[in-house]
Amino acid sequence: MLNIKLLFIAVIIVLSMGCRSVANTVKTDRLRNFPAEINEGDIVHVATGEKVTFSQLANSFDGARIIYVGEVHSNMESHELELQVLKECYKRSGGNLAIGMEMFKRPHQEILDKWTNGEISEKDLLYSTDWDYEWGYDYNHYKEIMDFVRDNKIPVVALNITKNFGKTIRKKGIEGLSEDERKTLPEIDTTDVYHRKYLESILKSHGHGDTDMSGFFEKFYQVQCAWEDVMADSITGYLSSPQAEGKKLLVFVGGGHIIYHFGIPKRVYRKNYLPYLTIETYEKRTLNPDNDHPLFASDIPLQPADYVKVVQLPEPKKTKVVLGVMIRNLKEDEAEEEEIDKDKKEPKYKVVMDSVREDSPAGKAGLQAGDIILSMDYETINRVFDVIYHVRQKKAGDTCRIEILRGEEKMTVEVTFFESKK
């Protein structure tokens, strides 16, 4: 069972990249039309094989009601392209623009509205949308995008189902869902032959071609189609609403959801027939001549996208600073009666250190297991997320003033952060 779960995760990562590598020596006519030499930063008009500038790419924006950008979630250059497209579309549309994002889930739409209206902080946005659990990728990759939409009051449309609902579909299958669960989904289409073939090839590329994976694949495929039909439903629902009148919609999703057009774009188009444009980001890498090109599968006679932007493979992750503690929210029954807010029924002191690593910034500063964190740099700490968010703003050499409660004594400790491999 563990191997199946790991395989599912691996497949999702590949889909976020929008590429594959399958042994096949057949070369397609579409690949022959693609430039033989491409470099980081190149933008290719796929139908003609011509390299274009961003300004030339942007000239095609005006004719599209929907512009899809397929990202590589962990690649910063991919997000820089999204920001560039966002700013250009905002300028060209005179601000008549909205953005749909896979990263946010439909139950969190009200929170996104508050963000756009400037009613909540970044910390509250990440906490209330459960960013770390629901998405998990580095928010700093999206920070400039989210700051721009807030500063310019651009509506953000939450596109996808929650992570837990996706797990439920993977476990039960569509047919096994309860009536109430099924009502939250649009009609799910699992009949696209090339879409199925593409996803089957991904499993084979992970060494499972000779294994009977039919049961796993069917549930995996249902989850993939559910994601894409739900996101398509979110897009068409917004575009048919009064709020979308006169607005262009940008859609930021993983490249695997728009490659060959048969994921989200096709599902949206057959509902509203609005003109659209797709832009894929492609990480340049050394290719095996015996394999299909990641963008041109020999057994799928479709163009991967309207345009492809070539980006470099990301550098190894930089070491981040850590505090070096295990912490948890303090349960109400562990707090003194007089320390409980009578209205909220929550402990006044919420975060306790269960353990402290001796060789960590916290350990070297003298923090101990059992210490309760009251504030960090004069900001009150109410929950574990507050600590995590605060530490993420730090870099090596930064200090942090931490006020703690140790037993009955309040004290202040200064922590100096340094890089840690652990």
Domain residues for 390? 325-416
Does a structural domain hold residue 318?
no
Is 6 buried (19+), middle (13-18) or exposed (0-12) by CB count in 10 A? exposed
Regarding whether 247 and 377 lie in a shared domain, the answer is no
Regarding whether 330 and 261 lie in a shared domain, the answer is no
Regarding whether 127 and 220 lie in a shared domain, the answer is yes
Regarding whether 279 and 134 lie in a shared domain, the answer is yes
Does a structural domain hold residue 210?
yes
Q: What is the pLDDT of residues 3-30, one digit of tens each?
A: 545 455 555 555 555 544 333 334 556 6
Does a structural domain hold residue 283?
yes
Regarding whether 380 and 269 lie in a shared domain, the answer is no
Signed CA dihedral, 45, 49, 55, 59: sign only: negative
Integer Cα distance of 263 and 416 in angstroms: 48
Domain's final residue, options 260, 277, 311:
311
Does a structural domain hold residue 39?
yes
Does a structural domain hold residue 316?
no
What pTM does this model have? 0.86
Regarding whether 146 and 262 lie in a shared domain, the answer is yes
Range 55-63 average pLDDT: 97
Range 271-292 average pLDDT: 89
Does a structural domain hold residue 253?
yes
Range 127-134 average pLDDT: 96
With b for 16 or more beta-carbon neighbours within 10 A and e for fewer, the 298-323 pattern comes to bebebbbbbbbbbbeeeeeeeeebbb
Q: With beta carbons less than 8 A apart as the criterion, state whether 257 and 102 touch.
A: yes
Integer Cα distance of 163 and 43 in angstroms: 33
Q: Report pLDDT for 238.
A: 98
Domain's final residue, options 311, 344, 370:
311
**Confidence at 422, pLDDT banded by 50, 70, 90:** low
With b for 16 or more beta-carbon neighbours within 10 A and e for fewer, the 334-370 pattern comes to ebeeeebeeeeeebbbbbbbeebbeebbbbebebeee
Regarding whether 368 and 285 lie in a shared domain, the answer is no
| 331 CB-near residues (< 8 Å, 6+ apart) | 347
| 175 CB-near residues (< 8 Å, 6+ apart) | none
Regarding whether 166 and 99 lie in a shared domain, the answer is yes
As a whole number of Å, the CA-based R_g of the chain is 24
Q: What is the pLDDT of residues 88-116, one digit of tens each?
A: 999 999 999 999 999 999 999 999 999 99
Regarding whether 286 and 346 lie in a shared domain, the answer is no
Integer Cα distance of 199 and 203 in angstroms: 7
- pLDDT: which is higher, 174 or 17: 174
Is 183's pLDDT higher than 80? yes
| CATH code for the domain in which residue 354 is found | 2.30.42.10
Q: With beta carbons less than 8 A apart as the criterion, state whether 251 and 67 touch.
A: yes
Q: What is the pLDDT of residues 328-373, one digit of tens each?
A: 998 754 544 434 444 444 445 579 999 999 999 999 999 999 999 9
Domain's final residue, options 311, 338, 373:
311
* Distance (Å) of CA 183 to CA 174, 177, 231: 11, 9, 15
Does a structural domain hold residue 319?
no
Name the domain count of the chain: 2
* Distance (Å) of CA 137 to CA 69, 141, 174: 17, 8, 27
Regarding whether 350 and 289 lie in a shared domain, the answer is no
Is 2's pLDDT higher than 90? no
Regarding whether 141 and 170 lie in a shared domain, the answer is yes
Q: Report pLDDT for 369.
A: 96
Regarding whether 286 and 412 lie in a shared domain, the answer is no
Tell me the average pLDDT of the chain.
88
Q: What percent of the chain has pLDDT over 70?
A: 85
| CATH code for the domain in which residue 243 is found | 3.40.50.11550
